[in-house]
A and B are shown apart, each in its own frame.
Chain A
Amino acid sequence: MTDHFPGYDVLRKRRTPSWDERTRQAINDRLSVPREPRFLSPELFAILAAACGRIIPQPPDRPPVPVAAMVDTKLFESKRDGYRFASMPEQGEAYRRGLRGFDDAAQSLHGRRFAGLEPAAQDQILASAQKGELDGPAWQGMPSKMFFEHRLLIDAVSAYYAHPTAWSEMGFGGPASPRGYVRMQLNRRDPWEAAEAKPGEEDRVRWENEHV
């Protein structure tokens, strides 16, 4: 878990020509997403938060990403995907069923709530969902594989990788309007892109990344 891009923080470009006003506003809105659930009940939200923490773990050394709150906001604002598999209910109902399904699995396997389980036990339940092995009254016929792959997994990772913390961690240039890019060829980097550290170069690269 080495930091490939030491010192790189995409937010440092916020007031440069790589970020226009509309983009600043969109990212500010995202950073200030309410941390308390507005769609899910506190009980279901705790399950969601625990599941998101396993699906996309938080980085140890960068600001945390409120993944569950971002998913809850999507549900609260009824932001849809543009399609629904015939075997799936509407997204809010899918979460109510699937998250209860995780809790039921935790109760029957371990006699405890999902959110209180050890990470390894949570992973096991999530892996069972991914394989389509979870079933029971909470699911009401919704395939657990569909819920995991096409609902929870996509929503969780789409939230995480919409956040500047994720962009910094992966060395993504982030917003780029109106400045754009100049050096297009292989192994060429514009001075406002993240520099990647090879072993022994961390200090120089950190300096470069502090000047994007």
Chain B
Amino acid sequence: MSDPLAAPRAIQGRAPDVFREGGWVEMREFSESEAVDFVVIGTGAGGGPLITRLAEQGFSVVGFDAGPYFRPLEDFASDETAQNQLYWLDERIVDGENPIRMGGNNSGKAVGGSTVHFAMVSLRFRPEWFKSRSLLGYGADWPLDWREMWDYYGKAERALSISGPVTYPWGPKRPRYPYRAHEMNGAAEVLARGAEAMGYKWSPTPLATVSAPRGDSPPCVYRGFCRFGCSTNAKQSQLVAFIPRALAAGAEIRDLAMVGRIETGADGRATGVHYFREGRWRFQRARNVVVAGYAIETPRLLLNSANDRYPDGLANSSGLVGRNLMTQSNQAVYGSMKDEVRWNKGPPSLSITEHWNYDDRKDFFGGYCWMAQGPLPIEWVTVLTGSLGLWGEQLRERMKNYNHQVGVKMVGEMLPNENNRVTLADETDQYGLRIPRITYSWGDNDKALVAHALDKMQTSMELAGVRDTFQQVDDTNHLAGTARMGSDPRSSVVNADCRSWDIPNLWVCDGSIFPTTGGVNPSLTISAIALRTADRIKALADRGEL
């Protein structure tokens, strides 16, 4: 068996067949010296659909990923530690009042990006969030119309065969989910009891893991290691859902290929990318470059690409590249029950309440949802050490109650702030590239939202019969911002088509472009925007405006 981290697998005209141990599929290869239509840097929630749709519409596309190209059936262990291989673990410096803990929470390094390890929660934004400045009084307006997004959400949900309820209790009418909802586990049931006691609606969570067969994906077997990679391919990550389509449509994927710098020519346009693969730096010529590395690596690459013509980095005339970084509040309330919950069984977030995303009777901006939880032993022990300061015999005894633990965890909206940002540190990494420094502090509004959520979650858990409750007050997940979209070049980095204002053939297509982050997990929105961007690029090309 080959080691996917030791040498690239997608070479010599073939790429791994993710559905077969040791299997291969044919892959088209492009020459470095001839410009391809598109280079896409990153193959996750943004890059995956974009590469696929560009290739399907006839463009020549090469997708780069710094991470390995896994075959889940042979490469994924059912194990928290071994599966650290999925995360972006290169050094990043974190500071500010509330430093963001990076790694498994928010950063993937693999073909498929973070979707290889994400919890599969696939939610739509509340429509008003696309105009949060004008309609709700905070953040910034998106240059997108929610009705158009509603169509693209539907396309993304169908492409990922989202399993969800027939009717979803919040927001405008949406089509029923393509696949039936998953059954609920004990932890999901306790969330439902708590929500009903509070008078809130709840729902089975729409998830990107199939509840019935789909092509080579078998239905989910409820093994519960979802956040450590799906070893059966039930999860509809980009690795299994979109990338095989991209290859079939003639795209090339280059794994273990770290892009370090985007080159620009005499006319100021991007000409291609310098990337490190198989022990040396190479150059791929391109007519367009799309950065899809997520909210840390995207601004890092744009800043690291500074040159004489663009001394502050590419696409940065607004000075906003790297600024307005947002994470999401991810606090939790945990406790125990007399019942055996065994929360490790099944996907971790099988039920949800979005009540406080849609109820505006609160004295702060933004919304939040909360979901059932099922942390595995290592995650759980770090909750106990981090939240209760436990160690020693006390800790071991507490861990023995694992099968009786239950809890809910929020995904909360944090507001954009220019001082929360990604800059370059002086230290360099294994590629010789300057590493990112990530500075983050919570604002008063962020703290007020968290306090509100903790109070409501705690009450709901107590009403559901959960005892010995405690709060995990310090956790965040997901990323956004750092290359925001907008309608004014002075206050945004890209336009509604994800095209940079400064360099017309340089695009950004990932969570970096979010002007606000909403109170739901971001991946479905990233993918929906990527599908829209692919259509916009085709429309622009047809009009000769690329």
Contacts and interface: CB of A to CB of B under 8 A. Distances in A.
Contacts of A130: 389, 391
A27 B79 CA distance: 8
Contact of A59 (B92, B102, B396): B396
Given A56-B396, A173-B344, A178-B232, A162 B80 contact: yes
A187 B339 contact: yes
Interface string B264-277: 00000000000000
Interface string B382-410: 10011001011101110110110000000
Given A55-B392, A171-B403, A182 B77 contact: no
A189 B393 contact: no
Contacts of B183: 184
Interface stretch (B39-47, B217-225, B311-319, B328-336): B217-225
Interface in A138-174: 149, 153-154, 157-158, 160-162, 166-167, 169-174
Contacts of A79: 84, 89
Contacts of B63: none
Contact of B377 (A30, A167, A179): A167
B221 A161 contact: no
Contact of A80 (B89, B380, B399, B400): B89
B82 A177 contact: no
B503 interface: no
Interface in B56-77: 74-77
A189 B403 CA distance: 11
Contact of A176 (B78, B103, B397): B78
Contact of A177 (B231, B340, B378, B396): B231
Given A1-B397, A84-B93, A149-B386, A158 B81 contact: yes
A167 B78 CA distance: 13
B188 to A, nearest CB: 8
B87 interface: yes
A116 interface: no
B377 A166 contact: yes
A84 B92 contact: yes
B396 A82 contact: no
Contacts of B382: 154, 157-158
B75 to A, nearest CB: 7
A83 B94 contact: yes
Given A56-B391, A180-B223, A20 B89 contact: no
B78 A175 contact: yes
B90 interface: yes
Question: Which of A57, A59, A157, A172 gathers the greatest number of chain B CB atoms within 10 Å?
Answer: A157
A22 B403 contact: no
B385 A86 contact: no
Interface in A114-131: 123, 126, 130
Question: Which of A83, A157, A193 gathers the greatest number of chain B CB atoms within 10 Å?
Answer: A83
Contacts of A184: 183-186, 222, 345-346
Interface string B89-110: 1111111000111111001000
B378 A158 contact: yes
Contacts of B339: 186-187
Given A26-B77, A176-B223, A186 B189 contact: yes
Nearest to A171: B403
Contact of B89 (A22, A59, A82, A157): A82
A57 B400 CA distance: 14
Nearest to B81: A162
A82 B95 contact: no
A202 to B, nearest CB: 15
B152 interface: no
B35 interface: no
A119 B79 CA distance: 32
Contacts of B342: 173, 188-189, 193
A82 B90 contact: yes
A109 to B, nearest CB: 19
Contacts of A175: 77-79, 225
A200 to B, nearest CB: 17
A170 B99 contact: no
A41 interface: no
A4 B344 contact: no
Contacts of A161: 377-378, 380-381, 399
Interface in A18-42: 18-23, 25-27, 30
5 contacts: A20-B78, A22-B75, A56-B395, A86-B93, A181-B222
Interface of A: 1, 4, 18-23, 25-27, 30, 54-57, 59, 79-87, 90, 123, 126, 130, 149, 153-154, 157-158, 160-162, 166-167, 169-189, 193-194, 196
Given A177-B231, A178-B223, A186-B341, 6 more contacts: A20-B77, A30-B81, A149-B386, A169-B400, A181-B223, A186-B190
Interface of B: 74-82, 84, 87-95, 99-104, 107, 183-186, 189-190, 220-225, 231-232, 337, 339-342, 344-346, 376-378, 380-382, 385-386, 389, 391-393, 395-397, 399-400, 402-403, 437-438
